[in-house]
Structure 1
């Protein structure tokens, strides 16, 4: 009889099973430990973060408080500055108003002073004119008195023909024939310095005498400085004689207001008062 083989069933090894369970347990423990460590780290990190946040909040709160205080202080400073600026603006406006008022007063005072100056100038001019008129009137009166005295002395037989040195006598008057370049006004002053005046001519006899003596174009006292065309003698004696050259006076160019006596003929010609002539004739009364 043939023997049948027996199949023997072997049971799994228990040791491998136990080893796998152990490894799994260890693995679980390790994993749990790692999670515990990780959780602990997370808790610690969260706590540290919370502490840091609290510190930051405290610091931020302090900073915000300080910034608020600074801001309030800045606002207070701004308000004070605005108040000061407003006060300064008021002061500036007040100063500008005072300056404007002062300028107005200065302008009024300036106009007042200008008016006073003009009045004073007019008074001086008027006074000078009155003094000149009075002086001229006095000179004419003195001359008239001297003429009357001379006529009385001549009636009593006195000879009234005495003249200063270098003066020439003719009909109770003395004549000086000046030489040297002079304008009309300069010639007038030169005669006054010699105690005489520029000659005024009142007769043909006097004119003929001057013709014989004056060899150069010479200034005489006739002029129309005050009114154009109205010629008068400087001593304001009447214009009762004339010896104009034909066609004269013509005032050919504006400003021919003074009269010259031509040396060639003795005739008169109106000329510029600032013209330079080499001759001029003075006169004064002779003494007895």
Structure 2
């Protein structure tokens, strides 16, 4: 009986120890779980704080960008309005100059037709011709400014009339038929252009490709002062492509310039007949 009692006591103590161990394990597990949850909650709180800060920064950046875009749009609208006003003024100036040019041409023609009218003197003719040339140059400068304004607004200014060929915002007419230099000049004027002026190698190459291979008149001459060649648009001779030995004023009086079939230039008698001549004018938008 005593041995059985000792065995019962030992079993009872053993059971109590196992219960204590299990309780301790459960407590430790609960503690570890609580620590993990606390760490996870801390991470969530930190992530939330960083996210909120990031959103606030993004809102601030977006607000600044929107404000800047609004200012840029307002400035762009102001620039567009100013450009439209400039274009309107340019168009008005062009109309006024065209009307004045027409009036002067009519008046000059009337001087020759009217028998009772006093004949114009050479000085008077030169003054009128100079005034017309100045008016044409001013009109072209205004037209160039108008094209630049249109291009800055996104327009394509490369439209040419029928039978004209476009190249770099200009239009070219390659005429054919025997003409003297003065006749070619007047024909170009009748087409609302002028004998071509050449100002770059690219333009020279383009003209050499399309021009008459027997030779063509161009708008270069030294009619007023020998050796001082001037373009029809009064622009300086900033580019040249003379044939070797030219200009030589051979025979005295070679005051007009032709474009040879090779593309090189040669001074020739203005009264000579050439079967080609080249006009140019500004392209439209």
Equivalences for residues 42-191 of structure 1 within 5 A: 124-191=121-188
**1:195 and 2:187 equivalent?**
no
CA-atom RMSD in angstroms: 1.6
TM-score (norm 2): 0.57
| DSSP 3-state at the match of 2:231 | coil
**1:231 and 2:224 equivalent?**
no
User: What is the CA-CA distance between 1:125 and the residue it aligns to?
Assistant: 2.5
Worse overlay, 124-133 or 149-158: 124-133
Work out which of the two has the higher radius of gyration on C-alpha atoms and give 1 or 2. 1
Q: Hey, what's the Cα distance between the residues in 1 that align with 2:210 and 2:203?
A: 11
User: What is the CA-CA distance between 1:153 and the residue it aligns to?
Assistant: 0.7
Out of 202, 205, 209, the position equivalent to 1:208 is 205
Q: Hey, what's the Cα distance between the residues in 2 that align with 1:187 and 1:247?
A: 26
Aligned to 1:266: 263
Q: Hey, what's the Cα distance between the residues in 2 that align with 1:123 and 1:183?
A: 25
Q: Hey, what's the Cα distance between the residues in 2 that align with 1:178 and 1:204?
A: 22
Aligned length: 168
User: What is the CA-CA distance between 1:194 and the residue it aligns to?
Assistant: 0.9
| DSSP 3-state at the match of 2:121 | helix
Aligned to 1:280: 277
User: What is the CA-CA distance between 1:284 and the residue it aligns to?
Assistant: 0.6
User: What is the CA-CA distance between 1:215 and the residue it aligns to?
Assistant: 3.1
Q: Hey, what's the Cα distance between the residues in 2 that align with 1:220 and 1:268?
A: 9
Out of 219, 222, 230, the position equivalent to 2:220 is 222
Aligned to 2:249: 251
1:54-75 CA distances to partner (integer Å, 9 max, x unpaired)? xxxxxxxxxxxxxxxxxxxxxx
User: What is the CA-CA distance between 1:261 and the residue it aligns to?
Assistant: 0.3
Q: Which runs of 5+ in 2 are unaligned?
A: 1-116
| DSSP 3-state at the match of 1:200 | coil
TM-score (norm 1): 0.56
